[in-house]
Chains A and B, each alone.
Chain A
Amino acid sequence: QQQVKQSPQSLIVQKGGISIINCAYENTAFDYFPWYQQFPGKGPALLIAIRPDVSEKKEGRFTISFNKSAKQFSLHIMDSQPGDSATYFCAAMSRPGNQFYFGTGTSLTVIP
């Protein structure tokens, strides 16, 4: 059973546009929601993360929106650039125990 559901599977956005990737979860024990960015041939790198006590977190062009009641969270990339082209994974984690679950990934392509 997929603990974290991610959509869309792939996304194509024009340079300067907004990229939006959505994730949903069921387990209310999750208390940490990171997003990872992965370039081809590289390991996933932590991009931004949020805890359920806030509804939004912004770092530069990247924003996480979190809806605790709906058990959904999303990544918004503003002013998308070709260098943002990568695979993005959402994840959910519960502590203690560090149970960690990846979403299925979204391949983002930003076209010039």
Chain B
Amino acid sequence: DAMVIQNPRYQVTQFGKPVTLSCSQTLNHNVMYWYQQKSSQAPKLLFHYYDKDFNNEADTPDNFQSRRPNTSFCFLDIRSPGLGDAAMYLCATSRVGGMDGYTFGSGTRLTVV
């Protein structure tokens, strides 16, 4: 089945230690998104890639970076995780001009110790 896959499902990192989360998709969608979701809140968009074009949300901290080496993969890098960065990180994809909405991965639960 075509899908969005996130790895790992759970990630524990130390305060200040860089961490990378990964996302892959088999949908061949041209847009990929990273969302941060904290407990009992709606997902918050961090940034997205439209093909290779990177689009950062204005309030996304500089601590968060992203890479998209090809259509299928996208990475979220957190350079110096703080306790406040503990959250569920969701990857999503969509197709510009398509008739459907977003397809989400199952998420990576990040714990900062």
Contact = CB atoms under 8 A, between A and B. Distances in A.
Contact of A96 (B96, B100, B107): B96
Is the interface on chain B under 10, 10 to 19, 20 to 34, or 35 or more residues? 20 to 34
Interface stretch (B14-22, B35-43, B62-70, B78-86): B35-43
Contacts of A42: 106-107
Contacts, number: 55
B24 to A, nearest CB: 14
Interface of B is mostly: loop
Interface of A: 32, 34, 36, 41-46, 49, 87, 89, 91, 93, 95-98, 100, 102-105, 107
Contacts of A87: 40
A47 B94 CA distance: 16
A63 B105 CA distance: 25
By Cβ-Cβ distance, the 4 closest A-B pairs, closest first, are A43-B104, A102-B42, A34-B101, A43-B107
